[in-house]
Amino acid sequence: MTETVFTNARVVLADEAFLGSVVVRDGMISRVDRGTSAAGLDLEGDYLIPGLVELHTDHLENHYRPRPGVFWDPLAALHAHDTQIAGSGITTVFDAVRIGSDIDLPDMLTHSERLVSAVRAGAEGGWLRSEHFIHLRCELPSHDVVDHFDALADHPSTRLASVMDHTPGQRQFRSLDAYKVFYARQMGGTDETVQAYIDARQAEHDRYSAANRQAIVTRARDMQIALASHDDATLAHVEQAEADGVAIAEFPTTLEAASAAHAAGLAILMGAPNVVRGKSHSGNISATDLVAGGLLDILSSDYVPFALLQAAFLMPTRVAGLDLSKALATVTLNPARAAGFDDRGEIAIGKRADLVRVSLRGQLPAVCGVWREGNRVS
């Protein structure tokens, strides 16, 4: 039997925080006590919180493709990604891998397979600091997205799939004028080339999206893969998600959609960078407004891993009546439950000892130690 005692820690439970001690035996939490013990690892009054649970991060793809046209070794990309994830206090991570070819990457399956294979190899080899799962981001207007799903979904590491549609005039990009400005800046094209791009994307949507959504929803149900909707903007979008058996509403873009999703019992996920910045980068609804309205369940780091912890500690300073336990639940207990895990996400007897030591540097939470199943990983 191996035992570690964390003492003189500000222990954050699901409903309160206090100065106390946590005893870990064989990777599991065996005791949680108020007050300090005579012996153990002295945390000197620092916070001891549950390991963070991340359901949607694009960061692995960013390491794999650091520049347009540049593709890194997938295992090296995973190593860099895993190091940053664990260093940000994230002990369970769902790596979002986009599937469905497009004009920019016509051979998308090749790249997706490389990333998924790397994650599985790292997990099977036992050299990853955090526990990694696969989140398939299914781009519905793509002609081959269902084929990609079939190639990558049937494996225990694939636990989540999101159905998304980034067609101009849809969901996140409902405003065509805003879309034209955004993509003209990204693509550097003329008005004519941007319009041609828009026309082609809309034609793909009309031809493929509806049938692809139904096919992927059916397959996910059969495989017991959790489903997420993406960028719901209207009541009709939420009604469709509810009918499809969606569990998580990722990044709703309007108050109408967020309110409807909450009423339907969907877990609402928003981006932590939205909280840190105080606004959406694309001009949609503020995540902080949803927190204040009781309409936010889960935060995702999206494109900045450290933003998850940073946002959780910022929220109580921005939303009246919100304590740290409730704020941290959006990055620990709530995403764990939404993903179907009942063994992690909180400091409680019988749960996994996924733990993070946090010291405040002014208002900035600094990660000073990370343990996964009682073993220090960062």
Q: In the chain, where are the structural domains located? A: 50-167+196-344
pLDDT digits (tens, 9 = 90+) for 116-158: 999 999 999 999 999 999 999 999 999 999 999 999 999 999 9
User: Measuring CA to CA, how many Å separate 305 from each of 2, 153, 281?
Assistant: 31, 25, 16
CA distance 189 to 89: 41
Q: What is the pLDDT of residue 372?
A: 98
Q: Which of 116-120, 126-130, 276-280, 334-338 has the lowest mean pLDDT?
A: 276-280
Q: What is the pLDDT of residue 241?
A: 97
Residue 18's DSSP bridge partners are 11
pLDDT tier at 283, thresholds 50, 70, 90:
low
Percent of the chain with pLDDT over 90: 80
Residue 43 has pLDDT above 90, yes or no: yes
E strand or H helix that includes residue 20: strand 17-25
pLDDT digits (tens, 9 = 90+) for 83-112: 999 999 999 999 999 999 987 788 999 999
In this prediction, residues 238-252 reach a mean pLDDT of: 96
E strand or H helix that includes residue 76: helix 74-87
For the chain, give percent helix, strand, coil, nearest 5. Answer: 40, 25, 35
Residue 38 has pLDDT above 80, yes or no: no
pLDDT tier at 322, thresholds 50, 70, 90:
very high
Q: What is the pLDDT of residue 135?
A: 98
Nearest to 306 by CA among 354, 241, 356, 268: 356
The angle at the Cα of 81, spanning 76 to 85, to the nearest 5 degrees, equals 150
pLDDT digits (tens, 9 = 90+) for 47-87: 999 999 999 999 999 999 999 889 999 999 999 999 999 99
Full-model pTM: 0.92
Tokens of 221: 């149900």
CATH 3.30.2290.10 fits 50-167+196-344, yes or no: no
Buried b (16+ CB within 10 A) or exposed e, 199-217: eebbebbeebbeebbebbb
Continuous H helices in 167-268: 176-187, 191-223, 235-243, 255-263
